[in-house]
C-alpha cells in the first residue's frame, strides 16, 4: 500500500472517531466538563447582573469669556470691559447601577454628573433615556438619578460589612458607550480612608481593574449582589496598577435614602475634632487601649460639649460601631441628621464611660461649597504681598456656588463680617444671623472690597 493511500485512510479513521464522540468536537479549547464536572464560570451570574449596569453620558453648557480681563471683577467694574463670551459644551461619560427597577432609580458618582445640564442613560438593550437628577452628595461622591422606563433589571444589594479581605469580586462598568466591561479580582483591603479622594471615605480596595469610564459602575460578589460602587483608582503611572476603590453599600444606602427623600444630605454637627492614635499618643496618655479616635478639640456650646466630652477622651464606639481612627467617627457622624442621637463610648484615662449626644445644626449655610481655614498672622499669601494679614482664607471655592458667581476666588481672605473683625471660624459663626444678609470684607492681595452674601 502506497504512502498517500495510507494517509487518506488514517484521516478517514480519525474523522470517524471524532464524529462518534460529540464532547470532543464541542470546543476547540478547554471542554466544558472535566471528569463529568462543569468548569466554574462567571457567565451565569453576569447574565443577570450586567443588564443592571448602564452607561451615563452628560453635557454641560458653559460660558467662556473671550476676554481674559473679564475673569477679574475689578477690571469689569473699573475699566468697563465688554462682556464678550461664547458657549462651550463639555461632555463626560461614566457608568451607573439600577438599584430600584420600579422607580427607575440609578446610582452613580457625583463626579460623573456634576454640573451637567443634560444626563442621558443608555441601557443594556440599547434604549437611550433622558434622566432626572434626584439628588447628590458631593462629599461622599454619590448621586441618584431617575429614568422613565419599564422592564428594568436591578441589582440586589448585599451587606458590605460581611466582606472579608480575599473575597472574590467582579467590577462591572459601561464606559465610553462600548457596552459592558467586566474584570475580576479580590478584596485587597477594607475601610480605606485618609486618601483625600472624598470628604467621607470608607473604601473597599480591590485589584479588579477599575478603568476610566467605570466610575459609578458596580462592584459585585460572586452571587451578583451589589457590594460597592466603583469610584477611583490609584494610578501613579496614569494606568491601572491594581489599586481600585469602591464606596461600600453600607455607606451608599443611608445616603441614597436621604437623597430620595430630601434631594440632599444635611449633615449635622457633633462638635469634636479628633485625631488618630499613634504609638506616641498611646504612651503619652498611658492607654491600655490602642484603637480609637483621640478628641483634640471640643467646640464651645456644641452637642459634644453639652454631653460632657473633653479633649483627651478616646472614642472607641459610636452607635455600636467600633471606632478605629478619626475617619471612622467622621463617617459615623456624617450619616446622621440633625436631631439624631449618637451613643458614644470612650475612655478617659483608663476609665470607660458612655454618653448620648444629640446631633446639632451646622452653621455657615451661605458658605456651603467653600473650603475655609484660619489664616494666622504672619502668613504670606504670595511672593508679591508685602502686608501680613490675619483672617479666614478661602482655600477652595466651587465654581457652581453663589460665592463664585459674586466674584470671590481662592486666596481671598475674610477680614470682617457684619462689620465685626473676625480671625477664625468661631468668630465668624458668632456674627452669622440666619435669614439675614451677611456683609463680608474681603482682602485680595493689596485690594479690599465688600461682598453681601444672601
Say whether both 318 and 345 belong to one domain.
Answer: yes
Q: Which residue has the higher pLDDT, 118 or 364?
A: 118
Say whether both 140 and 60 belong to one domain.
Answer: yes
Considering the candidates 57, 95, 137, 141, report the single residue annotated as catalytic: 141
Average pLDDT (91-102) is 88
Least confident of 96-100, 177-181, 228-232: 177-181
Q: Which residue has the higher pLDDT, 385 or 45?
A: 45
Considering the candidates 215, 328, 412, 416, report the single residue annotated as catalytic: 215
412 is an active site residue: no
3-state secondary structure the chain: CCHHHHHHHHHHHHHHHHHCCHHHHCCCCCCCEECCEECCCCHHHHHHHHHHEEEEEEEEEEEEECCHHHHCHHHHHHHCCCCCEEEEEEEEEEEEEEEECCCCEEEECHHHHCCCCEEEEECCCCCEEECEEEEEECCCCEEEEECCCCCCCCCCECCHHHCCCCCEEEEEECHHHCCCEEEEEEEEEEEECCCCCCCCCCEEEECCCCCCCCCCCEEECCCCCEEEEEEEECCCCCCCCCCEEEEEHHHHHHHHHHHHHHCCCCECECCEEEEECCHHHHHHCCCCCCCCEEEEEECCCCHHHHHCCCCCCEEEEECCEECCCHHHHHHHHHCCECCCEEEEEEEECCEEEEEEEECECCCCHHHCCEEEEEECCCCCCCCCCCCCCCEEEEEEECCCCHHHHCCCCCCCEEEEECCEECCCHHHHHHHCCCCCCEEEEEEECCEEEEEEEC
373 is an active site residue: no
Find the CATH number of the domain harbouring 186.
2.40.10.10
Of 121, 146, 171, the domain-final residue: 146
Say whether both 352 and 431 belong to one domain.
Answer: no
352 located within any domain: yes
215 is an active site residue: yes
Q: Which residue has the higher pLDDT, 175 or 15?
A: 175
Q: How many domains does the chain have?
A: 4
pLDDT band, very low/low/confident/very high, at 370 (cuts 50, 70, 90): very low
Average pLDDT (282-296) is 80
Say whether both 170 and 255 belong to one domain.
Answer: yes
29 located within any domain: no
Identify the pLDDT of residue 252: 94
311-326 per-position pLDDT tens digit: 888 899 988 888 888 8
Of 310, 326, 358, the domain-final residue: 358
Residue 210 structural domain: 160-262
pTM of the model: 0.65
Of 146, 175, 204, the domain-final residue: 146
Say whether both 346 and 418 belong to one domain.
Answer: no
400-447 per-position pLDDT tens digit: 566 777 788 888 888 888 778 888 877 887 777 766 777 788 888 767
Amino acid at each position: 500500500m502506497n504512502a498517500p493511500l495510507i494517509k487518506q485512510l488514517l484521516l478517514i479513521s480519525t474523522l470517524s472517531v471524532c464524529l462518534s464522540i460529540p464532547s470532543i468536537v464541542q470546543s476547540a479549547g478547554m471542554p466544558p466538563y472535566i471528569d463529568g464536572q462543569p468548569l466554574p464560570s462567571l457567565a451565569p451570574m453576569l447574565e443577570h447582573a450586567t443588564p443592571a449596569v448602564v452607561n451615563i453620558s452628560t453635557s454641560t453648557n458653559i460660558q467662556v469669556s473671550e476676554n481674559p480681563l473679564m475673569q477679574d471683577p475689578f477690571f469689569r467694574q473699573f475699566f468697563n470691559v465688554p462682556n464678550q463670551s461664547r458657549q462651550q459644551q463639555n461632555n463626560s461619560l461614566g457608568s451607573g447601577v439600577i438599584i430600584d427597577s420600579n422607580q427607575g432609580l440609578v446610582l452613580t458618582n457625583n463626579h460623573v454628573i456634576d454640573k451637567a445640564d443634560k444626563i442621558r442613560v443608555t441601557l443594556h438593550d440599547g434604549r437611550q433615556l433622558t434622566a432626572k437628577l434626584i439628588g447628590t452628595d458631593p462629599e461622599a461622591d454619590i448621586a441618584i438619578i431617575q429614568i422613565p422606563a419599564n422592564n428594568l433589571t436591578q441589582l440586589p444589594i448585599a451587606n458590605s460589612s460581611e466582606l472579608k479581605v480575599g473575597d472574590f469580586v467582579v467590577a462591572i462598568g459601561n464606559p465610553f458607550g462600548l457596552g459592558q466591561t467586566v474584570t475580576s479580582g479580590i478584596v485587597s483591603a477594607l475601610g480605606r480612608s485618609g486618601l483625600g479622594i472624598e470628604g467621607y471615605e470608607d473604601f473597599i480596595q480591590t485589584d479588579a481593574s477599575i478603568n476610566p469610564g467605570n466610575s459609578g459602575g458596580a462592584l459585585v460578589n460572586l452571587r451578583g449582589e451589589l457590594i460597592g460602587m466603583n469610584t477611583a483608582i490609584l494610578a501613579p503611572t496614569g494606568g491601572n496598577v491594581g489599586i481600585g476603590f469602591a464606596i461600600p453599600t453600607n455607606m451608599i444606602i443611608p445616603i441614597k435614602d436621604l437623597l430620595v427623600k430630601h434631594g440632599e444630605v444635611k449633615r449635622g454637627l457633633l462638635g469634636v475634632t479628633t485625631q488618630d492614635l499613634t504609638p506616641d499618643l498611646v504612651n503619652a496618655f498611658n492607654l491600655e487601649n490602642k484603637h480609637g479616635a483621640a478628641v483634640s478639640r471640643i467646640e464651645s456650646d456644641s452637642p459634644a460639649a453639652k454631653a460632657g466630652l473633653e479633649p483627651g477622651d478616646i472614642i472607641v464606639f459610636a452607635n455600636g460601631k467600633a471606632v478605629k481612627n478619626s475617619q471612622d467617627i467622621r463617617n459615623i457622624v456624617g450619616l446622621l441628621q440633625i436631631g439624631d442621637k449618637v451613643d458614644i463610648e470612650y475612655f478617659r484615662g483608663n476609665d470607660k464611660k458612655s454618653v448620648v449626644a444629640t446631633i446639632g445644626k451646622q452653621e455657615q449655610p451661605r458658605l456651603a461649597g467653600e473650603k475655609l481655614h484660619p489664616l494666622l498672622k504672619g502668613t504670606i499669601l504670595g511672593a508679591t504681598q508685602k502686608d501680613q494679614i490675619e483672617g479666614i482664607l478661602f482655600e477652595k471655592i466651587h465654581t457652581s456656588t453663589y460665592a463664585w458667581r459674586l466674584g470671590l476666588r481662592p486666596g481671598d481672605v475674610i477680614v470682617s463680617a457684619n462689620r465685626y473683625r473676625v480671625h477664625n471660624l468661631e468668630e465668624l459663626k458668632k456674627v452669622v444671623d440666619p435669614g439675614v444678609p451677611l456683609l463680608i470684607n474681603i482682602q485680595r492681595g493689596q485690594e479690599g472690597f465688600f461682598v453681601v452674601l444672601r
